[in-house]
Amino acid sequence: MGEMVSTTTIAPSFLASDFTQLGREAARVDRSGADWLHLDIMDGHFVPNISFGPEVVRVIRPLTAMTFDVHLMCLRPEILLEPFVRAGADRLTIHVELGEQVMPLIWKIHSLGKKVGLALNPGTAMSCVEPFLKKIDLLLIMTVNPGFGGQSFIRETLPKIQQAFAWRRDLGLSFHIEVDGGINFETAAECARAGADVFVSGTGLFGQPSLTRAVQKMRRLVLANGRDLSISAPPMEFKETLL
C-alpha cells in the first residue's frame, strides 16, 4: 500500500519454463523486458500438484534483479514464509481459502518486510477478500483453478476484476490487481479492459518463439486496453535481444 498503482506489470510464470534449464530460463526472462518473475509454489495438499521449493528460488536469485513474485498454493504457508524470504522472495501471496489463518499470515509477511498478496480461486466469492483490502499490496484473482499451467481462462472471473477495480477506486486504495491462469494476448487484453494491472502468463508467453517479443506484445496490448490510462505508464523501449 502507499504508492499509486502506476505501471502495467508483465509477470512470466516460471512454471512454464524448461525445467532442465532453470538458470538459463531465469536469465532469459531477465533479458525479456518482463517486470516480475512469478514463482508458483505448489505443495501437493492445497493443490493436487507439486512444483518447486525455496532452493530453486535461491539458486536463480543471483541471475536477475527482477521482482520475485511468489505465489504460495500451500496449506501451511506459515512454515514457508521465512525460507522463501531467505531465498530471495520480494512479494508473497497467500490464498484467502485458508480462512482464519489469513490475518496472521498477512501480519507475518509484513513483519518480514515483504509485500503481501491475497489470492482467491475462481469459485471463491469476492466478499471473502473484502475485509482484507486495506491490509494488502496485491489482490490475485485466479482465472483458472490453481494447480496446473496451460488451462483455459475462465471468463466468469471477469466481473471480479471489475469489482476489484471499483473497490480500489472507491476506497482510494492502491493494491495491484493481478490475474493468473490462461492469460494469453487475447485474455490479457480482456483483463486489462476489466481493470487488471499485473498479468501472469506461463504458456501464453513461454509458448511463443521469442519471449522478448511476446512480453512486448502483451505489454502493448494491455496498455492499449487498460481501463484507466492515467494510471498506466507509457510504453517502454526495450532493446531487442536475440534469444
Residues near ligand DX5 (CB under 6 A): 13, 15-16, 38, 40, 71, 144, 146-151, 180-183, 200-204
156 or 228: whose CB is closer to ligand DX5? 156
Which neighbouring-strand residues pair with 117? Answer: 93, 138
Task: Specify whether 228 is catalytic.
Answer: no
Active-site residue, from 35, 40, 137, 197: 40
Among 8, 9, 25, 40, binds Zn ion (CB under 5 A): 40
Residue with the closest Cβ to ligand DX5?
202
Distance, CA of 242 to CA of 30 (rounded, Å): 13
Residue 68 has φ and ψ, to the nearest 5°, of: -95, 115
Catalytic residue among 35, 43, 180, 197: 180
Closest distance to ligand DX5 from the beta carbon of 144 (Å): 6
99 Cβ neighbours under 8 A, 6+ residues apart: none
Q: CB under 5 to 8 A by kind: which of ligand DX5, Zn ion, none does 151 bind?
A: ligand DX5
Max CA pair span of the chain: 48
Options 45-53, 103-111, 175-183, 234-242: segment touching Zn ion (CB under 5 A): 175-183
Residue type at position 209? P
SS3 assignment, position 138: strand
Amino acid identity of residue 47, one-letter, is V
Percent helix / strand / coil, the chain, rounded to 5: 45, 20, 35
Supply the minimum distance, in Å, between the C-beta of residue 38 and Zn ion. 6
Task: Pick between residue 88 and residue 122 the one whose CB is nearest to ligand DX5.
Answer: 122
How far is 68 from 61, CA to CA, in rounded Å? 8
Q: Which of Zn ion, ligand DX5, none interacts with 182 (beta carbon under 5 to 8 A by kind)?
A: ligand DX5
Looking at the annotation, which residues are catalytic?
40, 180
